[in-house]
Amino acid sequence: MLPRLAALSVLLLAAFCAVAALADDRTGFADKPAPTDFRGLPFGAAIADLPGLTPVPSQKDSYYRKDEEPTYGKAKIVSVAYYAREGKLFAVGMAVEGEANIFLVQDRLIQQFGQGSQRGDQYGWIWPSFSVVLKRVNKDKAAVYFTQERAGR
């Protein structure tokens, strides 16, 4: 009887640990809704209909705003690029420099989307048709990508 009780106790402990691990497993899916726009420019909108975008010379389907605000929340940013696919806005890339600015950007993203998921040098959030990824290039440089994923992939 005692060996059965011990075996049952071990089995229950293992089951409890497995359930606790599953409950804490972060799939990367965000806690809050995906963004529908970036600074007022809706994802999926025709590039021709979006005001203030200027084509980047020698970069197909890449655009920038001449009057781009050089901040994101409290962070100073280096640049923002807007990307088109099939004539529609599908992604935005934002360059960030400086450890403090990277921290401030990540903090703002967490405020917007909830706790993200760390995968190597990337911290991000995913939804069924959208992703936001903060990718560290090194200690002092990072990029943030807001990407509307293709449907049916």
**Residue pair 105/96 in contact by the 8 Å Cβ criterion:** yes
**Residue pair 91/148 in contact by the 8 Å Cβ criterion:** yes
Give the integer Cα–Cα distance in Å for 117 and 38. Answer: 21
> Measured between alpha carbons, how far is residue 109 from residues 47, 89, 106 in Å?
25, 20, 5
- pTM (two decimals): 0.79
Please compute, for residue 58, the number of CA atoms within 13 A of its CA located in the half-sphere on the CB side: 0
Give the integer Cα–Cα distance in Å for 137 and 132. Answer: 16
Q: List, for residues 120-131, the tens digit of each pLDDT value.
A: 999 999 999 999
**Residue pair 73/65 in contact by the 8 Å Cβ criterion:** no
Is the confidence at residue 61, as pLDDT, over 90? yes
Question: Which H or E element spans position 73?
Answer: none
Is the confidence at residue 18, as pLDDT, over 50? no
Q: List, for residues 77-93, the tens digit of each pLDDT value.
A: 999 999 999 999 999 99
Closest CA to 31 of 125, 119, 133: 125
